[in-house]
Structures are given as C-alpha cells and as structure tokens.
C-alpha cells in the first residue's frame, strides 16, 4: 500500500498582529490598528464579518447605566454615543439617536431608576433626568399607563451592527489589513521567541502578536494559547422584530425590569422597525440559536407590559443571540488582558454591552499591545472614509431620479418590502458579499414583512450570475448551507452562472 503524503498548509503570510474574530469588536480593533504602520491580519471562521454574535443583537448604543460602578465595561462604555457619532461621520454610516427611558411601573421600581442614574454618572455619563407620568406620555404616547416615573437620557442611539461590522472591516482592508474569511483556527504554536504560527482551515499565518477576539469561541482560542482555565457561561436570548407599520408605537429605547431570565427592552431599529427582547434560556451549545414558541410568547409578554398596543400579528420574524460571561472577571465584567501563559497574546472576553464598548475596547487593546512591545507609529496617510452604500428607499425623490439616471438598475426593485434595488444587490456582491445572508444584512433584501419570500430567488440569481457560479454553489451563510442541492430536470446545471 502506498504511503499517504501529507500536504503542508498554505502559507498565508507574516504579520505583526493577527486578530482572531471579525465580529464588531475584532473589526473595530482592526480598523484602529490600520491607522498604524505595520502588517496586520484579521481572520474569521465564518464566511462574512459579523456573522456570529454581532448580527444577533439589539444593536443599541447605551450609556453605562447598565454597568456596575467601577467596572471595566462601564469605563470602556463612557462617551460611547459620541464615539459612534464620530465614526458614523468618518465611515458614512447611519447612527440614529433615539434616547432611552428606564420605566418604573411600581413604586418600588423608582429606586431602580436612581440606582441606574448613579451607576451611569459614576461611570462618566451625564444628561440624565428623572421624569414623571406626564413627561413620559409626552415622549411615549403609547406606553403603559402603569408607568409612574422614568429615567430619561437623550444621547443613546441605535445602529445596524452588520452594516457597521462590514464597513469597519472594509475600511481596515482599505488601509492595508489582510482579511481571511472562512478561516477557522485549528492550532496556535509558538515558533520561537518572536513569532506564533496560527494554523487555520485556509492556511498558516506567522504573527508576532495574537489578539483573541473570537467571541463565543474565545475560550477555545485561549486554550490553544495555553490558558485552559478560561471558561464561558452562556445564555440565549430571544428577540422579535415588528413591521414598520407599527413603528410609531415606540420612539425611544424603553427599559423595564431586569433579571437573570429577562431584559425588558423595546426600541426602534436603525431602519424603522421595532425590536423587542430579551427572554433568556440556557442554550444546548454555542450553535443553538433555535427559537421556540414558548420563547416568543414570553418575549412578547415582556413587550405588552410596556406597550399594551403591541399585537402579535405585527411580528414579522424572531431570532436568538447568545450572550456570554467569563470566569476571569466578577459580576459579568469584561476580561481584557495579556495571556498568562503566552507572551504577546491578548484575550478580549467581552459580553454585554460589547457593541457599546467596542471603540473603548479597541483603544485598550492597542495600549496593551504597546505595553507588550508593539511600536505604535501612525501612518502619514489614513483613509477615514469608504464608499457608502447608496440607499434607494431612504433617498428623496430628486436623488432617486438621479440614481436611476446614472444607473437604470436603481429603477428595478428587487425587494418590495424594503425597496431594495437590483443596483444595490449587485453593488454589495461586487464589494465582497457572496452569500444570501450577506446580501440580506448589507442591503436589507429579505428583511421585510415577507422575509425574502418574493426576493429570495432573485437574490440567488444575482449571486450566481455576478459571481459566475452555478446556483447550487450559492449558500445561505457559507459552507454547508446551500439553498439548492440539485435539479429535478436534466440540463439544470448547464453552465456556471446560469440561473
């Protein structure tokens, strides 16, 4: 019998810093690192940035009133709304300032408002106001009549996390960061005193510094680095999306009661829907994003307590996201620190509010890298802007006419629910999107009332034709998620790209 020959993994390159995980935090770190001279790489096991925890969130930018006094996450969340508004200008992204109101539905809840105010102000936030029932009704006409007091702050806002994660990643690549998608890490070995060899399913990268920003899988990356004592505790939360026809029911982020089993939260989204959450259960594993009827009913019940006019028939979809805490920090705090066993490796273990704290986390990680020996010399030229995605739906009529005149494909509506055009879908594909979910998250085609029932087949066709691949090769979210597995008639696979 012939002896099998081993095949050496492809060598992807050498860099100063490799970031493992292209969620919102990894993407933010990569973008900030790209301001410095050096070679940097961002690797992600999924087919698209932000396909993990980042896309399955409420996408809210909070004040640090959720964070314990003196906590690291409270410190890193300070001034978050201002940070995101600045980034929105630099990256030409949407940040929607909606404000937040903590509600007291019972007399004993009023103390919770003062405690939240104290936490926020101790962590550096300002602009809070305790308001009564009359002001609450003025701000939120449809809120429950049981609301007797509220804690109001104007600056918090909402954004669309998938779009932000893509934009940060794209801007980092624009400034020289190497991006490797579909690259799950399978091993990390210390080559010598200066380099690590990071083995992925796409090949190997040599790096002087390793940033573990792998989210739900950060404990597994930590173990590869020798820190086997790091463990994560997981909770799964159910969230509901409501049709835009009822968007007038809620104007601000509304918060009610909180416990280990729920976070009572209903708010507008960046694109005009309402989002409601969160009912928590224990997931079976890290990939358990299933949603049960019971989860939906319990979550809907939380929303009805705050806004009685909510109707179940106006729900258009539900989803779940997994939240984690770590065993290295107390009281649900972040753990961001150098490895205890691997020099020049940094662990980033961040649960909620990780999105809010992402800019602060990026700053801290770069400080830690400098302390570990990285030379932080800024580039003379840094490109702060990328080309934004023109949105046909939100454009005024005069701009729509110009868009169609410049490209007739803007005149062809693919997704009727969200008014997404053929030009937008093709633009997204040409900028790196190669999955159905990627198109959905960047263009919103399939995000509306019908959830892709009408536009799904068209999006699949555009992916196949633009990428020049058979329709059977188009996936929902990467390997193993094919939409079409075969043909019922001969000749269906007549050529790449035909659909």
Query: What structural domains does the chain harbor?
Result: 9-95+158-231+327-388 (3.50.50.60), 96-157+233-323 (3.30.9.10), 397-473 (1.10.10.1100)
**pLDDT score for 2:** 36
40-54, 78-92, 148-162, 471-485: least confidently modelled range: 471-485
Average pLDDT over residues 239-256: 96
d(CA 81, CA 99): 10
**pLDDT score for 166:** 93
Expressed in angstroms, the distance from the first to the final Cα of the chain is: 45
Say which residue, 439 or 274, is predicted with more confidence: 274
Residue 318 has pLDDT above 80, yes or no: yes
**pLDDT score for 450:** 83
**pLDDT score for 497:** 46
Contact yes or no for 77/356 (Cβ under 8 A) = yes
41-50, 153-162, 180-189, 481-490: least confidently modelled range: 481-490
**pLDDT score for 498:** 47
Residue 406 has pLDDT above 90, yes or no: yes
Residue 278 has pLDDT above 60, yes or no: yes
Average pLDDT over residues 235-247: 94
Residue corresponding to tokens 């490895």: 339
Q: Coil, strand or helix: which one is 223?
A: helix
Provide the annotated active-site residues: 62
**Residues 170-192: pLDDT tens digits?**
999 999 999 999 999 999 999 88
Say which residue, 172 or 448, is predicted with more confidence: 172
Residue 255 has pLDDT above 90, yes or no: yes
**pLDDT score for 388:** 74
Q: Token digits for 35?
A: 């301001």
Residue 21 has pLDDT above 80, yes or no: yes
Tell me how far the alpha carbon of residue 154 is from its chain's centroid: 23
**pLDDT score for 8:** 64
**Residues 83-105: pLDDT tens digits?**
999 999 999 898 999 999 999 99
14-28, 57-71, 167-181, 473-487: least confidently modelled range: 473-487
**pLDDT score for 480:** 79
What is the β-pairing status of strands 157-158 and 60-61? antiparallel
Residue 493 has pLDDT above 70, yes or no: no
Report the predicted TM-score, pTM, of the whole model to 2 decimal places.
Answer: 0.91
Residue 227's contacts (CB-CB under 8 Å, 6 or more residues apart) are 339, 340, 341, 342, 347
Say which residue, 178 or 51, is predicted with more confidence: 178
Mean pLDDT of the chain: 91
Residue 331 has pLDDT above 60, yes or no: yes
């Amino acid at each position: 019998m012939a002896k099998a020959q081993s095949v050496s993994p492809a060598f992807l390159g050498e860099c100063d810093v490799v970031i493992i995980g292209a969620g919102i935090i990894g993407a933010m770190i990569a973008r900030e690192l790209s301001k410095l001279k050096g070679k940097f790489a961002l690797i992600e096991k999924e087919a698209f940035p932000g396909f993990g925890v980042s896309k399955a969130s409420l996408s809210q930018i909070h004040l640090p009133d959720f964070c314990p006094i003196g906590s690291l996450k409270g410190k890193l969340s300070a001034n978050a709304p201002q940070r995101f508004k600045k980034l929105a200008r630099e990256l030409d992204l949407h940040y929607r300032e909606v404000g937040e109101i903590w509600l007291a539905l019972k007399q004993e809840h009023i103390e919770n408002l003062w405690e939240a105010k104290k936490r926020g102000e101790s962590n550096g936030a300002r602009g809070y106001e305790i308001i009564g029932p009359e002001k609450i009704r003025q701000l939120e006409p449809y809120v429950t009549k049981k609301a007797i007091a509220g804690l109001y702050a104007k600056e918090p806002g909402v954004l669309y996390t998938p779009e932000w994660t893509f934009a940060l990643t794209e801007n980092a690549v624009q400034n020289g960061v190497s991006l490797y998608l579909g690259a799950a890490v399978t091993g990390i070995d210390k080559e010598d005193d200066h380099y690590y060899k990071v083995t992925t399913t796409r090949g190997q990268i040599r790096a002087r510094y390793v940033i573990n920003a792998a989210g739900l899988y950060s404990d597994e990356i930590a173990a590869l680095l020798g820190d086997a004592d790091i463990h994560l505790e997981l909770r799964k939360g159910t969230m509901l999306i409501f049709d835009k026809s009822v968007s007038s029911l809620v104007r601000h982020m509304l918060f009610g009661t909180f416990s280990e089993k729920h976070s009572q939260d209903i708010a507008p989204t960046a694109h005009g829907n309402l989002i409601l959450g969160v009912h928590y259960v224990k997931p079976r594993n890290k990939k358990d994003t299933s949603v049960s009827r019971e989860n939906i009913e319990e979550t809907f019940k939380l929303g009805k307590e705050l806004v009685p006019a909510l109707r179940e028939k106006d729900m258009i979809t539900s989803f779940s996201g997994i939240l984690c805490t770590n065993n290295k920090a107390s009281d649900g705090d972040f753990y961001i620190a150098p490895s205890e066993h691997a020099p020049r490796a940094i662990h980033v273990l961040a649960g909620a509010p990780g999105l809010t704290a992402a800019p602060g986390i990026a700053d801290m990680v770069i400080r830690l890298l400098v302390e570990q020996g990285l030379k932080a010399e800024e580039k003379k030229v840094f490109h702060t802007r990328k080309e934004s995605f023109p949105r046909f739906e939100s454009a005024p009529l005069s701009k729509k006419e110009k868009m169609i005149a410049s490209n007739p494909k803007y005149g062809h509506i693919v997704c009727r629910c969200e008014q997404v055009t053929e030009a937008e879908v093709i633009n997204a594909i040409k900028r790196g999107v190669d999955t159905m979910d990627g198109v959905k998250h960047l263009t919103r085609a399939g995000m509306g009332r019908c959830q892709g029932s009408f536009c799904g087949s068209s999006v699949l066709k555009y992916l196949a034709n633009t990428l020049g691949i058979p329709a059977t090769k188009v996936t929902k979210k990467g390997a193993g998620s094919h939409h079409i597995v075969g043909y019922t008639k001969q000749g269906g696979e007549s050529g790449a790209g035909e659909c």
